[in-house]
Amino acid sequence: MKLFDVYPLFDINIVRGKACHVWDEQGTEYLDLYGGHAVISIGHSHPHYVEMISKQVAQLGFYSNSVINKLQRTLAERLGKVCGYDDYQLFLINSGAEANENALKLASFHNGRTRVVSFGKAFHGRTSLAVEVTDNPKIIAPINDNGHTTYLPLNDTEAMQAELRKGDVCAVIIEGIQGIGGIRVPDPSFMQALREECTRTGTVLILDEIQSGYGRSGRFFAHQYTGIRPDIITVAKGIGNGFPMGGVLISPMFAPVYGQLGTTFGGNHLACAAALAVLDVIEGEGLMENAAIVGNYLLDELKKLPGLKEVRGQGLMIGIEFDSPIKELRSRLLHEQKVFTGVSGTNVIRLLPPLCLTMDEADQFLERLSKVL
């Protein structure tokens, strides 16, 4: 059997990782400014993470959600404290798209409505509702195209207010910082107006922090720079440092109903062990603070480089926009300078490194980037 060929691949086989570095099968070392697509939060193969997962799998890898799982309860308590949402409830699943599916379902169960407002360039996943609220017609199959979504321009307060005042919008879904859309940070004033309008119109506010959350922006959630509290927050990627996991943080205004949501694998023992190890390291090694310090340094230094159109972002979630396509530049960064980076559209390089990136590694990246500019 052949693989279903949907990924345009680099001809590189990564076989080993350590902190912010990965190695291919020939032993070539790469600096990882991509974090496997924002997934590696605490660094590759962190010893504490390896130990926690190894111990857990030796003891019990999985049992179903029909029995008590104390690891889930510990994770909910720890996460609530670290992120500042102690009073919220946690529902665990396996991926980002699944987190957004469940968030949208909950919103619709809550207010009985079916329309969703999303924003230009938004990405929320590839499953049915998640893809329907994603602003990319190429990945919305006819079966997913059910007319639930109205896309509005990001940061357009008047358009948002006009739409929500129709009184029939179930939910607004918005990324803490748009990732795939090219690292676009919503204006705090827009977010505050959005919060107010959602409350006034009974619309559920869903913050997708799947890429921008878990400390990446320098705060636990990117929206925490704006001073608002959403009704539902979705997380994935960094939560398990590569172990597949997603979570929905649910405000106390939602009462749980037996059987309304459910999953076979979500919140399994191994995933919880991974997520607890991640929180240990984020807290113990001050990785949020590190993301803020090293991220701000990178943002400042990148802005000094010639030939860049715009540098934007927060913490270690950075977009570097050029006037022309960056395909060749990114390829030279990878093949000549041995640096992995991400991309958005044709003209934006995305930096999403592990949150343990050091100042020295940031300097190495700046030096290697300068060589290919």
Instruction: Give contact residues for ligand PLP (rule: CB under 6 A).
Output: 95-97, 100, 123-125, 175, 179-180, 208, 210-211, 236
**H-helix or E-strand containing 123?**
none
Pick the closer one to ligand PLP by CB: 46 or 350: 350
Cβ-Cβ contacts under 8 Å for 113 (sequence gap 6 or more): 107, 168, 169, 170, 171
* Three-class DSSP category at 311: strand
- Minimum distance, C-beta of residue 278 to ligand PLP, in the bound complex (Å): 15
Q: What 8-state DSSP symbol labels residue 347? A: T
Pick the closer one to ligand PLP by CB: 197 or 208: 208
Judge whether 373 and 329 are in contact, CB under 8 Å. Answer: yes
Residue tagged 């929320």 (tokens): 124
Q: What 8-state DSSP symbol labels residue 355? A: T
- Minimum distance, C-beta of residue 125 to ligand PLP, in the bound complex (Å): 4
- Minimum distance, C-beta of residue 177 to ligand PLP, in the bound complex (Å): 9
- Minimum distance, C-beta of residue 236 to ligand PLP, in the bound complex (Å): 5
Pick the closer one to ligand PLP by CB: 125 or 242: 125
Pick the closer one to ligand PLP by CB: 125 or 295: 125
Beta bridge partners of 234: 208, 248
**H-helix or E-strand containing 293?**
helix 287-304
Pick the closer one to ligand PLP by CB: 119 or 364: 119
- Minimum distance, C-beta of residue 104 to ligand PLP, in the bound complex (Å): 12
Amino acid (1-letter code) at residue 358: T
Beta bridge partners of 89: 250
- Minimum distance, C-beta of residue 95 to ligand PLP, in the bound complex (Å): 4
- Minimum distance, C-beta of residue 96 to ligand PLP, in the bound complex (Å): 2
Pick the closer one to ligand PLP by CB: 56 or 178: 178
Burial class (CB in 10 A: 0-12, 13-18, 19+), 315: buried
Pick the closer one to ligand PLP by CB: 228 or 293: 228
- Minimum distance, C-beta of residue 80 to ligand PLP, in the bound complex (Å): 22
Closest-approach residue to ligand PLP (CB) = 96
Pick the closer one to ligand PLP by CB: 35 or 96: 96
> Token digits for 298?
């990178």
CA distance 91 to 234: 10
Cβ-Cβ contacts under 8 Å for 225 (sequence gap 6 or more): 188, 217, 219, 314
Beta bridge partners of 21: 18, 31
Side by side, the strands of the sheet bearing 342-344 are: 310-314, 317-321, 348-351, 342-344
Residue tagged 């943080």 (tokens): 249
